[in-house]
Amino acid sequence: MKKYKGYLFDLDGTMYKGTELIAEARDFVVKLKEKNLPYLFVTNNSSRTPEQVAAKLRDFGIPAEGPQVFTTSQATANFLAEKKENATAYVIGEEGIQQALIEKGFTLQDENPDFVVVGIDRSISYEKLTKACLGVRNGATFVSTNGDIAIPTERGLLPGNGSLTSVVTVSTETQPIFIGKPEKIIMEQALEVIGTPRSETLMIGDNYHTDIMAGMNAGIDTLLVHTGVTTPEHLTTFEQQPTHVAHSLLEWMESI
């Protein structure tokens, strides 16, 4: 088993399932911390701030500080800042994306923004969608934090940000730039944050379509853990396979 120098982790389905801890994943991260190996949680959840995500992980007993969390909101803010500094944005989204953009120096405004950004927003309204559509029709660059179609909850699969984003895509006939997994954009930035060489970094996740494809798209080795979405049966249907596969991270404890 190859020993890696840096570890990128997905969250839901990899570290926990909803409100339930995946104990093997916690033990794995605890050992990484003991050995002083760098790790970073990479999440498509744009609604929470890194501090809020880290606090949730600590509640599970998983050692995590804010700087060890990298959200698609941060990746989006960085991406936009590279496109245009001190720009304006109209944002559909919750605290995580709003805060990330403000911290990066963006001015949030309703009319004639440089960028229209769509992240998950449980207070979505027709007026918000209208402003986003008018902004894009007015020439704003259209960006979406992630294309996830559904969010697993106790109630079932709820509409994900990819489905909310489609209102603007369909109405304006304009494709957004997606930032989150499986896009390369978030992964390139995550590599910079963790600071380990690409070839010695491992992306660990439970979802072939987001986590594993994100690693593949960025040329990072991948480990699919069967603790979440993608089952062993489903995995056999894909041509391009992950670098590694495990039932849980218990199998990887010795490689640290």
Task: Confirm or reject binding of residue 156 to a second copy (CB under 8 A).
Answer: yes
Location of structure tokens 């940000």: 161
Q: Which of residues 90-109 bind a second copy (CB under 8 A)?
A: none
Rounded to an integer, what distance in angstroms lies between the CA atom of residue 174 and that of residue 164? 14
**Could you tell me the two tokens for 232?**
């062993």
Total residues contacting a second copy (rule CB under 8 A)? 30
Nearer CB in complex with a second copy: 20/126? 126
Nearer CB in complex with a second copy: 138/199? 138
Task: Confirm or reject binding of residue 209 to a second copy (CB under 8 A).
Answer: no
- The response to whether 33 counts as a known ligand-binding position is no
Neighbouring residues of 10: CB distance < 8 A, sequence distance ≥ 6: 41, 42, 43, 181, 204, 205, 206, 207, 210, 211
Task: Confirm or reject binding of residue 8 to a second copy (CB under 8 A).
Answer: no
Q: Which of 150, 195, 200, 247 binds a second copy (CB under 8 A)?
A: 150
- The response to whether 10 counts as a known ligand-binding position is yes
Shortest Å, Cβ 33 to a second copy: 37
Shortest Å, Cβ 237 to a second copy: 16
Task: Confirm or reject binding of residue 168 to a second copy (CB under 8 A).
Answer: yes
Task: Confirm or reject binding of residue 126 to a second copy (CB under 8 A).
Answer: yes
Q: How many CA atoms lie within 13 A of 87 on its CB side?
A: 21
Shortest Å, Cβ 120 to a second copy: 9
- Sign of the torsion angle spanned by Cα atoms 6, 10, 69, 73: positive
Nearer CB in complex with a second copy: 171/217? 171
Strands ordered across the beta sheet of 177-178: 107-108, 88-92, 115-118, 141-144, 177-178
- The response to whether 17 counts as a known ligand-binding position is no
**Could you tell me the two tokens for 90?**
């109209």
Shortest Å, Cβ 172 to a second copy: 8
From the list 10, 114, 121, 211, the catalytic residue is 10
Location of structure tokens 């409100």: 19
Location of structure tokens 């996830």: 148
Catalytic residue status for 221: no
DSSP string, 152-166: EETTEEEE-HHHHHH
Task: Confirm or reject binding of residue 163 to a second copy (CB under 8 A).
Answer: yes
Catalytic residue status for 110: no
Cite the active site residues.
10, 12
User: Can you say which residues are annotated as belonging to the binding site?
Assistant: 10, 12, 181, 206
